[in-house]
Structure 1
């Protein structure tokens, strides 16, 4: 298993210092790919989009499942709780490509489900359509929304298990002291879920930095590069422009970013715990 993980990383690192177009042998070029990386406007845009996408998704993918888990565990209706968890978990098992294609159709300007609903309820005129994916900002927000919808069920299961492990006596004591549900959530649930919250934030950050399938199936990175992420940039450089060396350099940058973020979050967590 170690070889399966380590060998591709080492080979990618090697290719990042070469000029390689697949059709000929790799030619060493020193740090030229990394120099190009620093001056590539397209890469800067992809990095910015990835950071914005992460900032949009991770907070909502964390706080919404946490609140839902707290309410469901403490609910007096176990059947309703099970139904909600099962329903929200359905998108998790669906293919990202399939999810992206379905939402692309629903958000389409011409004949899309949302526009048809707006027409039906006379919220917009019949001769006007909202192009949800037609602007750079709108497309990025739309993809972020779908990503949140897709992953809420997964993180809900994690938080649900965590809330169940919090002793009920703490809530009963807080209730006797006059604390309402919001105060109980802030002072009991959130501190009790701190380790799980850091796990969810780390997973959410890593997944957001590696997003590809959903974005590619919904927008293809457009419009005008508005949703191009780092992984889409790797795909385009490697498989469209056939610049495998440069694509490998971007891959190594992404690898260092993900590892660095994970280590930083772990260090922050340890300092908080102390």
Structure 2
């Protein structure tokens, strides 16, 4: 119990201090001055904040499905393949990006996508296609961040879905085969319903991680071009460590914390109902 109390304090003290700062005007160079709800009132009309919120929602809406459906399909195929070594090899290869540093992943992809000499533009040049400004175009920059993020996490969710597929009784598939159901029908009527508890967990985790995205955006685009990939956490960084507006940054952090708490509570309720 004492150790739990210590851990609770370690977690609570930064949160409570951040909450306090969100009600102050604090520029690091001087002491915090009580500001009331002014920081939150400013957020309500701050176009940059809402742009960051919109970017975060767009990122989440597209990243979560990619991180759910691709691993789920792969898990179903790999769990049923008769070539077991191939299944193990594919899972191992796809898990490598999971354990790799986000800074490393972002740096490698940034160089691969950069300018005329990047890997992808070099390939396009060989087939006569003009180079694409992947990181300098607002639309392409968001697409790239979404794809790279999904690619990095696919291996993690694949492990969860793979274990879930193995837990589905084989008798169900055998009975479905006897009744004439093909692989596609088995996937939709047996695999997906059987993976529902795992799917709920993965969706909640993926959503929470998506709202917390920072490292990859910071390394690949820095939130640009023109704020097109600035997410909520990126906005916190810019307000707090570039503009030194700690009160405003803390207010955004508390809003983000509220969103994450809601998703975490939803996760617990849904998992409880599933159990």
2:152 aligns to what SS in structure 1?
A: helix
Counterparts of 1:184-195 in structure 2, within 5 Å, are: 184-195=186-197
Q: Does 1:66 align with 2:75?
A: no
Determine the C-alpha separation between the residues in 2 that align with 1:91 and 1:116.
23
Determine the C-alpha separation between the residues in 1 that align with 2:185 and 2:272.
25
Give the corresponding residue for 1:225. 227
Determine the C-alpha separation between the residues in 1 that align with 2:233 and 2:147.
19
Determine the C-alpha separation between the residues in 2 that align with 1:41 and 1:265.
31
Aligned residue-pair number: 269
Displaced runs of 4 or more, over 4 A: 265-271
Counterparts of 1:238-253 in structure 2, within 5 Å, are: 238-253=240-255
Give the corresponding residue for 1:257. 259
Q: Does 1:85 align with 2:87?
A: no
Determine the C-alpha separation between the residues in 1 that align with 2:222 and 2:184.
42
Determine the C-alpha separation between the residues in 1 that align with 2:166 and 2:131.
46
Determine the C-alpha separation between the residues in 1 that align with 2:88 and 2:272.
34
Check conservation: 2:27, 2:244, Cα contact below 8 A: yes
Determine the C-alpha separation between the residues in 2 that align with 1:10 and 1:226.
31
Determine the C-alpha separation between the residues in 2 that align with 1:109 and 1:166.
48
Give the corresponding residue for 1:147. 149
**1:266 CA displacement:** 5.0
Give the corresponding residue for 1:236. 238
TM-score (norm 2): 0.94
Give the corresponding residue for 2:115. 109
Give the corresponding residue for 1:161. 163
**1:270 CA displacement:** 6.4
TM-score (norm 1): 0.95
From 10, 20, 26, the counterpart of 2:16: 10
- After superposition, the CA RMSD in angstroms is 1.4
Check conservation: 2:200, 2:270, Cα contact below 8 A: no
Structure 1 unaligned regions, length at least 5: none
**1:135 CA displacement:** 1.3
Q: What per-residue deviation string (whole Å, max 9, x for no partner) do you get for residues 106-160 of structure 1? A: 111220100111122x241xxx321111211110011000001000000000111
**1:269 CA displacement:** 6.4
Determine the C-alpha separation between the residues in 2 that align with 1:180 and 1:270.
33
From 38, 61, 68, the counterpart of 2:44: 38
Determine the C-alpha separation between the residues in 1 that align with 2:267 and 2:104.
32
Determine the C-alpha separation between the residues in 2 that align with 1:266 and 1:58.
19
